[in-house]
Structure 1
């Protein structure tokens, strides 16, 4: 009997360790996912444009195909690559983060430029629908790969797990969780107007029909706000990544100056608002720096990087 009790005690101890490990993985994944919030918001803001111009019955299948491609990108390519970097070349992670931050700044600045120039990012879909859908899905998966690489690199840099297996578990939770959140939100966004129309057409109560009309009328404005929030998040996260990366390689003057200015702004407001004001001031200055860097990168991307990629790829 004593042997059985000892065995049960050992099993209980193992269960406690396993539960603690699961809690730690989830906690680390939550922390790492929060660090990647800017890229996540942009991912959710970017994806709805890929279903523009298609019939309502193809919207969810397209989102599903993109989500499947995204989870493959994260689990089959980016997760092993991230673990290999952490194990064999951890010094590369800050440099890759800065490269990804520069890309976010470039993308954000390009969106601002397109908005100022009244550029239409949603050309009408014409031609064979199946071919257009395939092109849209593949284009979305390629864009998602870049954003996912940034998300996974940010998450990897935030992980404090002691072993490679713990790191793998945290990255897998981040990959699955972020993909579910992003594409679940995208599915809700792209179908919201259809839900609103159904409420208007089939609602028995006036309040239901009124809510449906409100959803339909509000979606264009909501998508516009989402786009600008995503753009601002890209510039903020991209700028902050560049600043922190410079600090890690010994160039902390810019970060220290931004911190001093933010503290000075915080002293202007009542003490109960000081912390929030300092955070907002820091994020705003990071975003402005990201916008300036992004504008500087646009001619480089247009005149150097794009022609080089086209020459190498033959496209």
Structure 2
């Protein structure tokens, strides 16, 4: 089960990285190649350091909380309170990030389609852009899930023979 979660997290990171690169490249597509390379490289580096730095802080959030609790030793109730707050908040923060991250991924994926496939953009002109991007992201996500499940079923039936 742990390996499956790790594989899923790596795949999600990969997809988000591709989306960020595509968005960055889209902003400088008309610029000279050297500028495209510099901008995309800078965005990739910044996104990697930013995302993994934030993840590192999250991973250490409960460790900092436990350390503050240990330092308090009944002498400093404020440190103990902050430590307990950090420890108790981590699961809630992770759940919130799961929801926010999923929405962000759907919006970015939908945005890529809405802004680059003119037929989709023209068809959804009547709705707010963010809603159109979310709707398209959900649709593409559902189609992808169905294709993946279909391939998995075919793979299972092939392996049974």
- Do these two structures clear the TM 0.5 threshold for a shared fold by scoring above it? yes
Alignment partner, residue 196 of structure 1 = 65
Matched residues in 1 for 2:77 and 2:20: separation?
Answer: 44
Counterpart in the other structure of 1:119: none
* Whole-angstrom distance in 2 between the partners of 1:153 and 1:166: 15
2:146 aligned residue:
299
Equivalences for residues 58-69 of structure 1 within 5 A: none
Aligned: 1:216 with 2:87: yes
Name the Cα RMSD after superposition.
2.8
State the shift of 1:284 in Å: 3.3
- Tell me if the contact between 1:235 and 1:286 (Cα under 8 Å) persists in the aligned partners: yes
Is it true that 1:236 corresponds to 2:107 in the alignment?
yes
Contact 2:19 2:109 in 1 (8 A): no
The alpha carbon displacement at 1:296 in A equals 3.4
Report 1 or 2 for greater relative contact order, CA contacts < 8 Å, sequence distance ≥ 6: 1
Match of residue 226, structure 1, among 80, 84, 97: 97
Q: 8 Å contact 1:244–1:255 — kept in the other structure?
A: no
Mapped to 1, the partners of 2:132 and 2:120 lie a distance apart of 17
- CA distance 1:150–1:196, shift in 2 (3 Å): same
Deviation for aligned residue 1:153: 1.7
Secondary structure of the structure 1 residue equivalent to 2:84: helix
TM-score with structure 2 length normalisation?
Answer: 0.79
Match of 2:124 among 236, 255, 258: 255
Equivalent-residue separation in structure 2 for 1:222 and 1:251 (angstroms): 35
Structure 2: how far apart are the matches of 1:150 and 1:245?
13
- TM score, norm. by length of structure 1: 0.43
Q: Does structure 2 retain, via aligned residues, the 8 Å contact 1:200–1:213?
A: yes
Q: What does residue range 150-189 of structure 1 map to in structure 2 within 5 Å?
A: 150-159=19-28, 162-189=31-58
Bigger-Rg structure (1/2) = 1
Unmatched tracts of structure 2, length 5 or more: none
2:17 is aligned with 1:148:
yes
> Per the alignment, do residues 161 and 177 of structure 1 end up closer, same or farther by CA in structure 2, a change over 3 Å counting?
farther
Q: CA deviation at 1:243?
A: 1.7
- SS of residue in 2 equivalent to 1:162: coil
- Correspondences of 1:67-146 after superposition (within 5 Å): 123=1, 125=2, 136=6, 141=10, 143-146=12-15
Distance 2:85 2:146 in 1: 42
Distance 1:296 1:252, change over 3 A: same
Deviates most, 288-297 or 224-233: 288-297
Residue 183 of structure 1 deviates from its aligned partner by 0.3
Give the Cα–Cα distance (whole angstroms) in 1 for the partners of residues 88 and 49 of structure 2.
27
Aligned length: 153
